[in-house]
Every structure is written in C-alpha cells, then in structure tokens.
Amino acid sequence: MPIIMQHQHHVNKELHIAPMLNYSTREFRQLIRILSERVTLWTEMVVDETVAHSPNLDEHLAYDSTQHPIVCQIGGNSPQLCGKATSIVLEQFGYDEVNLNIDCPSERVSGKREFGACLMKKAELARRIVAEMQTNAPSLASKVSVKCRIGVDDLDDLEFAAEFIRTLQPVCQRFYLHARKCVLGGLMNARQNRSVPPLNYPRVFSLCHMFPDCLFWINGGIKSIDEARMIAYGWNGG
C-alpha cells in the first residue's frame, strides 16, 4: 500500500494508509490498526449515490471503534448527493474526516461517471461540491478534505495546480496531493497512473509554500517508513 505523509512544518507529521479499491477493506484496516495505533486509516472510495440511497449503510460504512482515526473517502459529481453523504458519514457514522476523491483515473469513474480525477478540469464544480459537503455538516466543516493530483493530461504545471487549489481554498483547507499528474484515457489501465507519470515532489512542496494557511499531505511513490521519514523530515524547503 502507498503511504500518505503530512508535509507542513508547523504541525505534527501524520502517517496515513492510502485507500485502494479491493484492498482497504474493513478487515484490512483492522489488521493495520493492530500493527499501529497511530496511523490514520482510509476506507475504499464509496460512491455518493451508494451512501445516499443504500438500504444497508452498515455494509458500506460500518467499522470497528478501534479504527479511529479513520477517513471515509467518497466519490461523486453531485453537490446534493455528496452533501447528503457527508452528513451521513460524519454525523451518523462518526468518521473523523470525509474526503472527496478527485484523484481516481479509472475509465469507469473519470470517464463514464465523470467524477474522480476528471473533476480537476471542472474546478468550479468541485468547489460547489465541497461547499455543499460543508453545508450539510456545519459543525464538522473542518473535517472535509480533498484528494487530488498535481495535474491532469496536458494541464501539467504549477500554475494549473495552484489555480485549482486557489479555487477550492475558500471551502477547503485540507488537501492530499498525489505527486503525479493523471492521464485520462491515455494509458493501458488505471494502475499505470500510479507508476507511469513521473513523480514531482517539488511541485507539492511549492504548493505548501504558496498556500501556508492550508494543510497538505503528500502521496505517491512512498513505499516504506524510511522513505516517508526522508520526505517528511529530510526535505529542507529547497
């Protein structure tokens, strides 16, 4: 599993287990919790329609109380449905955070369903979704976050990433950045989007400097605790 590491100088570092479809199951999370009491766990991505309309929410959202801290990641492109899902996740099930997936590159998600990473090309829609998520859990608005890439297709530079963050900043100050761009439809499968586009950690660090009032976590290519420590503590800001 890849590792997510918070990368801000003025707060404590955090180690997260990044979500992966068919891996981040309830049972897998319980195993990781046995191995570490401190690591933050993530669910697999749950689609907004599933959360909003499922007759058996426990099947998708239930977890053991020992799994805190735990983040529920949702995917969707409907402000109304994502808003309703956020209320259920935070207020009914008591997750520590709800995260909007603007990262998934799969054809089924970013193609046919038009959410996930393709929302990076629709920053205003993404802003409306996050705003509605906060509106539906006003007392827990600070627990809403976004997971995204640092670019998508030919929109692959610091200026694009910064403008995306800038658009969302009024409604979100918590960003998990996969330090690769996303290629939609140009690779053999979604898995290649975790290895083929080159890593660009400096772009993530630059965004940390550009938006000091936001919190950032870095994701991508981190395969061990030693690598996580090197990125979190070895980077000198250069």
Residues with catalytic function: 104
Selection from 95, 102, 87 nearest residue 168 by Cα:
102
